[in-house]
Each structure stands twice: as C-alpha cells, then as structure tokens.
Structure 1
Amino acid sequence: MMKRYECMERLGSRLADELVVLSLGGAVDEWFNAAPHMREASLFQQQLGCVTGEAFGLSVGLPHRRIVSLDTDGGLLFNLGILATLGNEQPENLFVVVWDNECYQSIGGPRTHTAAGRVNLAEIARGCGVENAFVADNYDDFETHCERGLAAKEPYVVIAKTDGVLEPGIKRKHSDGREDKYIFVRHVEKTEGITIMGPSEHN
C-alpha cells in the first residue's frame, strides 16, 4: 500500500487553479500540510458521505473549472448513490480520488467493507456508468491516473490504496468548519469574479 501523505504531495504538485473538496479525519491535516498552496481552494468537509456529492455540485455550477473530490472509502460507502449520479450525468470536469485505507481511521480504525477484499469501489463505479474508474496501489499508477483524471472530459475515479498510518509531525489545521466555509467561498468569489455571499448584516 501507498502512504496517503505522499500521494497527496504528488497530487498537490499538479494542482494550481482547481477547487478541492475533502473529507474529515486525518486526511484534513495531511492535505493542509501536503498542499499548502491549495488551502484557500479547499473545502474541508465535516460529514461522511457528502464529499463527492458536493464536488459534483461544484462541477455543475462551475463547468469551466476543474473540481477534485478527495473522498475516503468510508465516506463513499456512506453514499454509493453518488456514483450512479456521476454515471448518469457524466460531468466533464470532476476528478475523484478515494483514499482507501480500509478503515474508519478517525474513530479508532474499525474496518470498512473494502478490508475484506471482496468490495471493489472501482468496479462499483464502472457498474454505475463511470467508465474511467481504477484502483491504484503503487505510486506510478497513481500519478498516471492523476495526470489522466485532471485532463479527462468525463468523470474519472481512482481508488488509491493507502495505509492507515497518519503522517507524523505535521501541523494541525487550526480553523473550524465555519471559517473554512468562508475562506473557500471568498476564494471562489475572487477567482471567479462573482458574489456568492454578500456582506454580513449588522443588527
């Protein structure tokens, strides 16, 4: 298995003006450190099962912008129906990376369904109509899929098989979910030249 942090570093080095949605848990602090130039462009989600759905919504709302979903095996298993949505809608600008460490790391490591070796999330995605869905268990394959996924004109999913070990010695992300939302929205407003949320009202 690969180290998730190293995968993040390799993916982050390819990103510039993309928008990223990612899941809760250890992946948040790792992404905060692995891709510091993407902090304002990243929406740090707080619930399992919402990441790829929110990324899909962004891909529809901003069809000219590349959107990256950094989901997890546990998170995707909470909402497998999003794969059927991707298969039917075929967004041209959505790249989905699923960190599959075969456990719910943030709550102590109980195993997910992928740990038994019979559940293949890429095959589920293909069965839902996402033709470009693959498993990567080494860095060369992962980088190849990152290159292809970021250039694809149809939904692209890579299931990255990573270990369950958190990167030691990294800084904790110090903002909360509300602050993260505003940072992300203001970044989108600035880079798109639009207004999403007006000025705050004073009572």
Structure 2
Amino acid sequence: MEIKQLPELISQFSSWLQEAENLEPNDANAMSLATVNSDGEPSVRMVLLKGVDENGFVFYTNFESQKGQELLQNPNAALCFHWKSLRRCIRINGTVEQVSDEEADAYFNSRPRDSRIGAWASQQSRPMEGRFSLEAAVAKYAAKYAVGEVPRPPYWSGFRVIPKKIEFWQDKPFRLHERNQYTHTDIGWQKAVLYP
C-alpha cells in the first residue's frame, strides 16, 4: 500500500497546471464544479481556480448564486480539471469552507475595476428582465463608486474545497488510461490504481 502526503499531491497538481498554462489557449485554471441542491439534484458549471495550496482549492463567487446557495446548504463539492491538449484530467472530491474576509478582500481588490462593479450589478443566477436591466445596474454602481475603491459586496466571497479524494487521469494508447486515485486517511493519502 502506497501512502503519500498532501504536499506531494499538490505538487503534482501544480506541475500539471503549469504545463496546462503553457499549452492551453484559454483558462487553464477552468474547472467544473459540481454541487447538490436541497432536493438532492446535482448541478455542474465551470468556475476558475484562483488559488491552491495544502489547505485546498479556492474559487470566488456570489453567495446568492445557485452554487453559492447550494454550497452554503450542503458543503460538499466535486471538481474536475480537463486539459485536452495534455490529455489529462484531475478529479477532486471534498468538503467546502468559506475563505476568510481577508482572503476575499485581497482577491476582490486584485480584480479589474469593471469586474468589481459587475459583482455589485449582477444578481447572479436569478432571472433577468433583459440585457438593459444589467447595463442599468452597471451604470448605477459605476456612478456610485466613480471615485475611490470599490468595496467587496457582503454577498461576494470565496470557497475552499478541502480534498478528501484526488484522482490523476492520464490518456494512454488503446484507451488503457492511467488512473491513480488518492484517498485521505488518518495516516496520509492512500493510493489506488484504478482500471481505466
């Protein structure tokens, strides 16, 4: 039985991500995020990874959005990275926690000004009467925050997925792919080699 420690797995993840950033034409940090609503119905969408370390995988969103509401109600999630140019995939399952206000503020303030205005203007995941209503909201908040910093909305922050299971998938000839799955245990991360 092979046991690894989380820093080794994060190092492998970071190495694959770096290779993807060198080859993928757009958004190498894009990942699918799967959540479950209160009725047990799954939902999946694409988000962008904004940080990774031994504490987990971080992304930011509007907590009033569908994914935000689902994660606040059921703090479990699955992530999937697929890098077609590298013929690689990484799947992650874990629990979810909110990032600190300091982390959220730091990331929010690093975003372009128009993106910060957009965070105020968008009622993410809710029905929109028409494009004009969004443009009017953008104009309203652009005027409100015309001078000085744009503060982070109270409903906008980040989530950290704390991994419990990580699978590294590598394409191989004749569909005999390589799948190495690591599951968190009391003594470290136990490796299992899976059939393709």
Q: TM-score, normalised by structure 2?
A: 0.25
Indicate the structure with greater helix content: 1
Indicate the structure with greater strand content: 2
Larger of the two Rg values belongs to structure = 2
